[in-house]
Amino acid sequence: RFAYVNGTYRPLRDAVVHVEDRGFQFADGVYEVWSVFDGRLADFEGHLTRLWRSLDELRIDRPMSPEALARVLKETVRRNRVREGLVYIQITRGTARRDHPFPAEGTPPSVVVTARTLPLAKGNAAAVKGVAVITQPDIRWGRCDIKTVGLLPNVLAKQAAKERGAAEAWMVDEMGLVTEGSSTNAWIVDEHGKLRTRDTQSNILRGITRAAVLEMAAKEGIELEERAFSVDEARRAREAFYTSASGFVMPAVSIDGVKIGDGKPGPVATRLRTLYLERAR
Ligand code: PDD
């Protein structure tokens, strides 16, 4: 496998960044993840636009033009011979002697790109059966709309899920409302049959898959509302699922051990998953 590191492609074992990289020392950086189908990056523009926005919000210099970056991403996919899998990019504020304020102007950002083959279709096994989710308090900061590499609360939440045999942790605010998953956006089909997901003005990531699913659901004539739901509403829901670039639409069949609906993936989640995969291909 090969990685792109600050201008060159290297074998993964030699692909290293400096110990004083600000991503390493301060989590002072951002990232994006694309899925790859038939060698093509799904929702290419959407993720690229969000990456620029994340950089701008944190005042990290754009390392190159969108066209140049697109070439790097595609070349990394090609060199790793990925037909189906994931591409990861991380851009940090660069390398400088450890000091909290931004480094001197002109310090180049660090750019790392990796790609790996992952049989995404295999995720189907989980999607057919449905997965378990647990809930965790949302202990993150106030700018979850920025896709930063500062993911410690997400890591702790996902680990808690893993230790309890669940695939994802849904984070819950102080009002008892679900914000989002540790690496996914959270959805239910409520007891009245309405598709619901939290609005993006309230400290969550504006998921690219979320946006695609909203668009597809509207086209399907599914009644939907961008409004937060409580853990209680999720427990009583007909269906639950979550979305991300790496898992697409994943049906959840229990929350904290409580069965959702009949304990099987529901028709809305199943339909939206099928539509998303058709669209990505
Ligand atoms: N995670 N919410 C959070 C906190 C996320 O980290 C992600 C993505 C999403 C879904 O966004 P999108 O549909 O644009 O992938 C929601 C990526 C996949 C990750 O961390 O690996």
User: CB-based contacts of 11: which residues, under 8 Å, 6+ apart?
Assistant: 1, 2
Is the shortest distance between the CB of 185 and ligand 1 below 6 Å? yes
Nearest CA to ligand 1 atom 17: 183
Arithmetic mean of pLDDT, 159-186: 98
With helix as H, strand as E and coil as C, how does 37-77 read?
ECCEECCHHHHHHHHHHHHHHHCCCCCCCHHHHHHHHHHHH
At 123 the pLDDT is 67
165, 107 contact by CB (below 8 A): no
At 167 the pLDDT is 98
Q: How does pLDDT run across 230-278, given as a tens digit for each residue?
A: 999 999 999 999 999 999 999 999 999 999 999 999 999 999 999 999 9
Domains of the chain: 2-118 (3.30.470.10), 123-280 (3.20.10.10)
Q: How does pLDDT run across 173-228, given as a tens digit for each residue?
A: 999 999 999 999 999 999 999 999 999 999 999 999 999 999 999 999 999 999 99
At 122 the pLDDT is 67
Is the shortest distance between the CB of 207 and ligand 1 below 6 Å? yes
CA 32 to ligand 1 center in whole angstroms: 8
User: CB-based contacts of 248: which residues, under 8 Å, 6+ apart?
Assistant: 35, 120, 123, 127, 209, 273, 276, 277, 280
Nearest CA to ligand 1 atom 6: 183
Q: How does pLDDT run across 66-124, given as a tens digit for each residue?
A: 999 999 999 999 999 999 999 999 999 999 999 999 999 999 999 999 999 998 876 68
Index of the ligand 1 atom closest to the CA of residue 182: 4
Q: Catalytic site residue 162?
A: no
Q: Which helix (H) or strand (E) holds 212?
A: helix 208-219
